[in-house]
Structure 1
Amino acid sequence: MSALLLLLLGVLSSTGVLLTGVESVGVCYGGNGNNLPTKQAVVNLYKSNGIGKIRLYYPDEGALQALRGSNIEVILAVPNDQLQSVSNNGGATNWVNKYVKPYAGNVKLKYIAVGNEVHPGDALAGSVLPALQSIQNAISAANLQGQIKVSTAIDTTLLGNSYPPKDGVFSNSASSYITPIINFLAKNGAPLLANVYPYFAYVNNQQNIGLDYALFTKQGNNEVGYQNLFDALVDSLYAALEKVGASNVKVVVSESGWPSQGGVGATVQNAGTYYRNLIKHVKGGTPKRPNGPIETYLFAMFDENQKGGAETEKHFGLFRPDKSPKYQLSFN
């Protein structure tokens, strides 16, 4: 009986039924701070909170070491400043040999994000597709293509139109850049990683977007059948994917967050409301893709006191540098 039970448990765990955090949201590990805990302490904090997924913004070997045996799923990044060096097979093979192969046995590497928010007019735009192809070749050569999907992370500014969501389409300037990338994803069964921020959409268009619509607190649907801005943004991406013949490409929300200070609408109360409602909401789907959950990574684990840009950029953390929670959140 015990042998049979053990076998059954093994089957269940291999299908993910028993793995805590399998359906949990992920959290991005932002590290632009001089006051943050050690890598091992951070991984322990993920585990103690039942956070089953992490996004790393560069090949952080200290974090990868700490993640060994943790069962936490990982998005590992090729940062923008390394795109050119991996856009040929030799460079990509070296990268995979250094940062992927030594860890793939006991770190749950799920996606490699080749570049983050590269825009069509950027100097690096021409490197993204070759880098994707070269990293894919290196992953396949390492026989890891069944475990790891290769993608890139975009933001929603690549959409030329996003409202109503069914009319979502990539802009004319973005189309020639993003369409070959999407074809690559479709061919390899990889998702599109998308950074989706109702906060920025709200801040930039307050005359047309209500705070309640951005925070998931609106009662009832709007005139095009949407109750919240998050779903509207995700579905506009799905509509844009359909228009370039890639209706089978899934959107993974690789970042979404709300700052607690430093700008319009940036309060602890609003941010806590956003994160709580987002965690609850992504267990289901969107009107266009109702069969959830929506794989989603919250931004970010900690406030980052050395992050550049607007003041809000420093205040997206779910935890303070001393590891105390800024909000009462349940991640599972």
Structure 2
Amino acid sequence: MGFLDAKDCKAFMAPILLLLGFFLSGLELTGAQSVGVCYGRNGDNLPSEADVINLYKSNGIGRMRIYEPNQPTLNALRGSNIELIIGILNNNLQALTDAAAATDWVQNNVRNFWPDVKFRYIAVGNEVHPNDAEVGFVLPAMQNIRNAIASANLQDQIKVSTSIDTTLVENAYPPSQGSFTGAASSFIKPIIDFLVSNGAPLLVNVYPYFAYTLNPQDISLQYALFTSSGVVVTDPEGNRGYQNLFDALLDAQYSALEKAGAPNLQIVVSESGWPSEGGDAASVENAATFYKNLINHVKNGTPKRPGQAIETYLFAMFDENQKNPPGIERHFGLFSPSQQPKYQISFG
């Protein structure tokens, strides 16, 4: 083959550059897709699993969190391309401290569905607190599940973690002062070390709603709903300005991780939401404002982690009429059980 002249070279390169452009735009879209939705099933009037998956797809929701390995849901997810966080209930943790039981769990709930179902994370327990009976079972269960995942050669595709809430961190004002409580430290530090060694993120449920309603005298509704017109809190460390409570709560978690020796550990926001009725400041208008602003905001990161999209899961897909206690817990749905949207939201 002879050398190409400038004209031939341009003609030769044009389709390659076009294909490269499509490839890079695909990467950009994938990176930008940071919002998923939690699919809770505590209701007696919810749609079929197949209808739920179709609702996710028709709304462009590419990520889902479920709280236990429901087989009809996993079957409905086959071929959907929806990325999944699959949970293990707290009352099942003790059983999984047995390695053989963990191997069976991974076989029945992961290997039997992979690769038709795109598992992303396994959440071993949800919001276990230092005084809970299950506290000693979380890490051994995580280790056994991770070993079973590695035996299946899936450790690079599926990461094993646990989901905590923000109450394990104290001194969160200003965010740079955040640290794990004394009671939480002995529980969470070995888990953090496990996550770092395995390249897995920490899952954190972040609820500005509860932080606001517990302290409305010091926290404004606008700060909680992302509607403040300017900086509300200035953190002397780095002179960081905070315009919303979500960022402040999340950066307090990052500060706690730094003090625990894990400055580079990533956080996935495994739940965040606002109820539409049943309690203080719970209204359709406030919930719509929160969800819309949260979706737009998490593309951009926090003052402590600017420019890094925050992988976030909205809570929740449906109102769940059997959640306890009654009240706000039953009104976090983005959709009614009839599959009608409560708010006009674009999931990106």
Q: What TM-score, normalized by structure 2, do the two folds share?
A: 0.91
Shift of residue 137 of structure 1?
A: 0.3
Distance in 1 (alpha carbons) for counterparts of 2:94 and 2:252: 30
The one of 309, 326, 331 equivalent to 2:342 is: 326
Residue range with higher mean Cα deviation, 193-202 or 104-113:
104-113
Q: 1:15 to 1:218 in 2, by over 3 A?
A: closer
SS of corresponding position for 2:133: coil
Shift of residue 248 of structure 1?
A: 1.3
Shift of residue 310 of structure 1?
A: 4.3
4+ aligned runs moved over 2 Å, structure 1: 8-22
Shift of residue 161 of structure 1?
A: 1.7
Q: 1:142 aligns to what?
A: 152
Q: 1:255 aligns to what?
A: 271
Describe how 1:10-159 pairs up with structure 2 within 5 A.
Answer: 17=27, 23-159=33-169
| Code of the aligned partner of 2:78 | R
| Percent of residue pairs identical | 61
Describe how 1:301-316 pairs up with structure 2 within 5 A.
Answer: 301-316=317-332
Q: 1:9 to 1:98 in 2, by over 3 A?
A: farther
SS of corresponding position for 1:235: helix
Q: 1:286 aligns to what?
A: 302
Distance in 2 (alpha carbons) for counterparts of 1:9 and 1:34: 49
Q: Number of aligned residue pairs: give it.
A: 329
The one of 206, 225, 241 equivalent to 1:215 is: 225
Distance in 1 (alpha carbons) for counterparts of 2:152 and 2:25: 24
Deviations 1:130-187 (A, max 9, x none): 0010000000001000100000000001012211000010001101000000000011
SS of corresponding position for 2:137: helix
CA contact (8 A) 1:92 1:135 kept: yes
Larger radius of gyration: 2
Distance in 1 (alpha carbons) for counterparts of 2:28 and 2:257: 33
Shift of residue 81 of structure 1?
A: 1.3
Residue range with higher mean Cα deviation, 122-131 or 23-32:
23-32
Q: 2:285 aligns to what?
A: 269
Find out whether 1:191 has 2:201 as its counterpart: yes
SS of corresponding position for 2:196: helix
| Code of the aligned partner of 2:336 | R
CA contact (8 A) 1:114 1:151 kept: yes
| Code of the aligned partner of 1:164 | P
Unaligned regions of 5+ residues in structure 2, if any?
1-10, 235-240
Describe how 1:201-212 pairs up with structure 2 within 5 A.
Answer: 201-212=211-222
Unaligned regions of 5+ residues in structure 1, if any?
none
CA contact (8 A) 1:24 1:331 kept: no
Distance in 2 (alpha carbons) for counterparts of 1:157 and 1:175: 12
Q: 1:14 to 1:149 in 2, by over 3 A?
A: farther
Distance in 2 (alpha carbons) for counterparts of 1:168 and 1:18: 33
Deviations 1:46-99 (A, max 9, x none): 000000100001001111111111111100011111111111211110100000
Shift of residue 291 of structure 1?
A: 2.2
Deviations 1:272-328 (A, max 9, x none): 000000000001100000022100000000000000114000000000111010000
Distance in 2 (alpha carbons) for counterparts of 1:181 and 1:119: 13
CA contact (8 A) 2:276 2:284 kept: yes
RMSD between superposed Cα atoms in Å: 2.1
Distance in 2 (alpha carbons) for counterparts of 1:37 and 1:67: 15
Q: 1:21 to 1:70 in 2, by over 3 A?
A: farther
